[in-house]
């Protein structure tokens, strides 16, 4: 893939008119207002497209369409919903290269990452939702009553720019499986994959009004969705600041709010760990997607007596990364996704230096030879104090903090000593000891010895990392209400 492919993608979206439209009530429609925003290629800092932005009036129209469609979609058979999701899954796989091109262009993911992770993992969310729709017990009989799990209603879904398609499918899939109808607000910074996904739903035969797309800003479209009296649930993945604002706007209407927010995930390496395996895997996980993952294990907590060995292996792993043009197949890491994030990464690298952490590789500025684009140097600090900013604050970039400990109890205390609790890793040869440590970490998900990603594993946070769960059966249940019918005689039927 090269720049010519990216150019053709933009030309295709432009000629189709999708960049100028929202998707409401089964039709591509012009927005009520005239606001537009540029889509920036982070590898060049150039504007490569413009999209139309919706406003609160457009949200009203989308909610009306979703509310009307809910009457029939919510009582459709789970098997018919599963069939639709099966068609969506097949179309995503058929158009995988188109999605990979869009994601690489709009947020800078290396094309290898877009092809191997961003797109196939997004498709997995739809596959799991399809399977769950066909097998979930929406009605069960217990203690002389029927327990019914019913769709909660119209759902406003707000998704971020870092895993644009993956975060959309993680919400849309289970919401559709549950029988909900949807108004989606993707990030206006990475909107191209959302437009392509909407076309997939349309081509798969989704009924009018069941899914609606309103591009727009958080203060305009996000706030309108959160406050809307006819929206029954908001699910947001984003920053803590955005999550708080959405919850505040939603509070007067007493709607359900699910939040998947920030993280500062620990990677606790036990004294018996095989460093030659654990450390490179930890660096890779921390720098995956250029560190722009809310669950990235960006705090490597290591035995003090093995610190020098950890530092050597970590720097070797970082040196093997290839930062460059995301369209090149040799590139492992492209730029960070936007100018604001680039500035944030540079600010936090400066903070680490100022506070006295030991910079062992990387540092401020762009990598050598990359004068344009939002490229950051893969950076590792060692001898980081647990209360330093780089150990407490989410950076969302390729910056790893190595924190030494003197006892396992101290290591667990360090792991739990942030306001976040989204993800965590534990590395060790003795599985019983690793399990015991994993049980003590206050986090929604813990990985022992780098297992494969599991789309069935519920994902969500403790503390300031949010509430609610996504993925798998638990992700489906977020979109359901529970009704108990007493006096039901016999088995449900």
Distance CA 420, CA 377 (A): 25
Task: Give yes or no: residues 477 and 436 share one domain.
Answer: no
Instruction: Yes or no: say if 307 and 383 are a contact pair by the CB < 8 Å rule.
Output: yes
Answer whether residue 492 is part of any domain.
Answer: no
Beta bridge partners of 380: 361, 400
Do 431 and 480 lie in one domain? The reply is no
User: Two tokens at 436?
Assistant: 């015991």
For the residues 458-485, what does the mean pLDDT come to? Answer: 98
Which H or E run contains 140?
strand 139-142
Residue 391 lies in a domain: yes
Res 5: pLDDT: 76
Provide the number of structural domains found in the chain: 2
Q: Kindly state the tokens that stand for 85.
A: 């999701």
Residue 1's pLDDT is 41
Q: What is the pLDDT of residue 3?
A: 63
Residue with tokens 């993911």: 109
Q: For residue range 407-433, what is the model confidence (pLDDT) as tens digits?
A: 999 999 999 999 999 999 999 999 999
Length of the chain: 493
Residues 335, 316: one domain? yes
For 74-97, what is each residue's pLDDT tens digit? Answer: 999 999 999 999 999 999 999 999
My answer on whether 60 and 28 are in the same domain is yes
Residue 491's pLDDT band, with cuts at 50, 70 and 90, is low
> How many Å apart are CA 219 and CA 482, to the nearest integer?
32
In a domain, 384, yes or no: yes
Residue 460 lies in a domain: no
Q: Are residues 232 and 380 in the same domain?
A: no
Give the helix/strand (H/E) hosting 125.
helix 119-135
Cα–Cα distance measured from residue 379 to residue 352, given in angstroms and rounded to the nearest whole number: 10
- Region 221-240: mean pLDDT is 98
In 312-408, the DSSP E strands lie at 358-361, 379-382, 399-405
The phi and psi torsions of 350 (rounded to 5 degrees) equal: -60, -40
The pLDDT of residue 6: 75
Residue 489 has pLDDT above 90, yes or no: no
**Any idea what DSSP says for residue 339?**
H
Percent pLDDT > 70 in the chain is: 98
Q: State the catalytic residue, choosing from 220, 260, 394, 470.
A: 260
Rounded CA-CA distance 221/291 in Å is 28
- 357 has a pLDDT exceeding 70: yes
Is residue 462 in some structural domain? no
- Which pLDDT score, from 0 to 100, does residue 7 have? 79
How far apart, in whole angstroms, are the C-alpha atoms of residue 198 and residue 164?
13
- pLDDT at residue 4, rounded to an integer: 66
Judge whether residue 127 has pLDDT over 70.
yes
Residues 355 and 322 placed together within one structural domain of the fold: yes
Q: Quote the pLDDT of residue 493.
A: 53
Q: Tell me: do 251 and 270 sit in the same domain.
A: no
Run of H or E residues at 174:
helix 164-178
Q: Give the pairing type, strands 211-213 and 181-185.
A: parallel
Q: In this structure, is residue 255 part of a structural domain?
A: yes
Residue with tokens 């003197």: 406
C-alpha dist (Å) from residue 121 to 167, 294, 401, 453: 10, 16, 27, 9
Q: Which two structure tokens, joined as six digits, stand for 207?
A: 């009924």
Per-residue model confidence as pLDDT tens digits over 430-453: 999 999 999 999 999 999 999 999
Phi then psi for residue 446, to 5 deg, are: -130, 135
**Statement: residue 113 has pLDDT above 50:** yes
Q: Return the minimum-mean-pLDDT range out of 3-7, 121-125, 485-489.
A: 3-7
Q: How many CB atoms lie within 10 A of CB 344?
A: 18
User: Could you tell me how many helices (H) and strands (E) the chain has, helices first?
Assistant: 17, 22
**Distance, CA of 68 to CA of 466 (rounded, Å):** 31
Q: What residues pair up with 486 in beta bridges, in sequence order? A: 145
Q: Which residues contact 481 (CB under 8 A, 6 or more apart)?
A: 149, 150, 151, 152
Q: How does pLDDT run across 12-70, given as a tens digit for each residue?
A: 999 999 999 999 999 999 999 999 999 999 999 999 999 999 999 999 999 999 999 99
Helical axes 431-440 vs 408-416, angle rounded to 10°: 40
Lowest mean pLDDT among 1-5, 238-242, 390-394: 1-5
Are 136 and 37 contacting, i.e. CB atoms less than 8 angstroms apart? no
Judge if 275 and 250 occupy the same domain. Answer: no
Catalytic residue among 155, 180, 294, 361: 294
Q: Please give the average per-residue pLDDT across 341-351, as a whole number.
A: 98
- Per-residue model confidence (pLDDT) at position 2: 53
Cα angle 298, 300, 301 (rounded to 5 degrees) comes to: 140
Look-up of token digits 């108990």: 484
Residues 377 and 237 placed together within one structural domain of the fold: no
Q: What percent of the chain has pLDDT over 90?
A: 96
- As a whole number of Å, the CA-based R_g of the chain is 23
The range of the structural domain enclosing residue 273 comes to 266-454
CATH at 450: 3.40.309.10
**Same domain (yes/no): 85, 122:** yes
Domain contains 352: yes
Q: What 8-state DSSP symbol labels residue 220?
A: I
Average pLDDT over residues 163-173: 98
Q: Distance (Å, rounded) from C-alpha 362 to C-alpha 399?
A: 9
**Phi, psi at 391, each rounded to 5°:** -100, -15
65 within a domain of the structure (yes/no): yes
Q: What is the pLDDT of residue 432?
A: 98
Q: What is the 3 state secondary structure string of 36-104?
A: EEEEEECCCCEEEEEEECCCHHHHHHHHHHHHHHHHHHCCCCHHHHHHHHHHHHHHHHHCHHHHHHHHH
Q: For 359, phi and psi rounded to 5 degrees?
A: -80, 115
Is residue 260 among the annotated active site residues?
A: yes
Q: What is the mean pLDDT of the chain?
A: 97
Residues 288 and 358 reside in one and the same domain: yes
Q: Do 23 and 145 belong together in one domain?
A: yes
What's the CATH number where 188 sits?
Answer: 3.40.605.10
Nearest-angstrom CA–CA distance, 63 and 214:
10
CA distances from 71 to 24, 74, 76, 380 (A): 17, 6, 9, 54
The CA angle 73-78-82, to the nearest 5 degrees, is 100
């Amino acid at each position: 893939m090269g720049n010519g492919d990216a150019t053709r993608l933009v030309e295709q979206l432009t000629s189709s008119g999708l960049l100028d439209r929202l998707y409401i009530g089964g039709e591509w429609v012009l927005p009520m207002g005239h606001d537009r925003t540029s889509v920036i290629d982070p590898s060049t800092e150039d504007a490569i497209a413009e999209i139309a932005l919706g406003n609160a009036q457009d949200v009203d129209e989308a909610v009306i369409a979703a509310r009307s469609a809910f009457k029939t979609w919510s009582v459709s058979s789970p098997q018919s919903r599963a069939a639709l999701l099966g068609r969506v899954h097949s179309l995503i796989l058929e158009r995988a290269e188109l999605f990979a091109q869009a994601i690489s262009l709009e947020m800078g993911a290396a094309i290898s990452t877009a092809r191997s992770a961003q797109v196939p993992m997004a498709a997995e969310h739809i596959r799991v939702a399809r399977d769950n729709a066909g097998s979930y017990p929406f009605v069960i009989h217990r203690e002389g009553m029927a327990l019914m799990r019913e769709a909660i209603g119209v759902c406003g879904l707000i998704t971020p720019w870092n895993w644009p398609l993956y975060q959309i499918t993680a919400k849309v899939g289970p919401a559709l499986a549950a029988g909900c109808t949807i108004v989606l607000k993707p990030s206006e910074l990475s909107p191209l994959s959302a437009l392509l996904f909407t076309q997939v739903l349309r081509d798969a035969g989704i009924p009018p009004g069941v899914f609606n797309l309103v591009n727009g800003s958080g203060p305009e479209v996000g706030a309108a969705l959160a406050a809307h009296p006819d929206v029954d649930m908001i699910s947001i993945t984003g920053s803590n600041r955005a999550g708080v604002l959405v919850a505040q706007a939603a509070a007067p209407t007493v709607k359900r709010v699910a939040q998947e927010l920030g993280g500062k995930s620990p990677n606790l390496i036990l004294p018996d760990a095989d460093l030659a395996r654990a450390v490179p895997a930890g660096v890779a996980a921390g720098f995956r997607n250029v560190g722009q993952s809310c669950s990235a294990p960006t705090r490597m907590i290591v035995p003090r007596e093995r610190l020098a060995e950890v530092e050597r292996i970590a720097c070797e792993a970082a040196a093997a990364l290839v930062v460059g043009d995301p369209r090149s197949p040799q590139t492992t890491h492209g730029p960070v996704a936007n100018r604001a994030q680039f500035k944030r990464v540079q600010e936090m690298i400066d903070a680490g230096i100022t506070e006295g952490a030991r910079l062992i590789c990387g540092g401020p500025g762009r990598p050598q030879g990359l004068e344009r684009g939002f490229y950051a140097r893969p950076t590792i600090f060692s001898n980081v104090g647990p209360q330093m900013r780089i150990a407490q604050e989410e950076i969302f970039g390729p910056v790893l903090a190595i924190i030494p400990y003197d006892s396992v109890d101290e290591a667990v205390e360090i792991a739990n000593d942030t306001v976040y609790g989204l993800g965590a890793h534990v590395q060790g040869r003795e599985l019983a000891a690793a399990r015991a440590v994993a049980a003590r970490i206050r986090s929604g998900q813990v990985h022992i010895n780098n297992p494969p990603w599991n789309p069935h594993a519920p994902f969500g946070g403790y503390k300031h990392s949010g509430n609610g769960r996504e993925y798998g059966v638990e992700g489906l249940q977020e979109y359901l209400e529970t009704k108990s019918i007493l006096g039901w005689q016999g088995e449900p039927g």
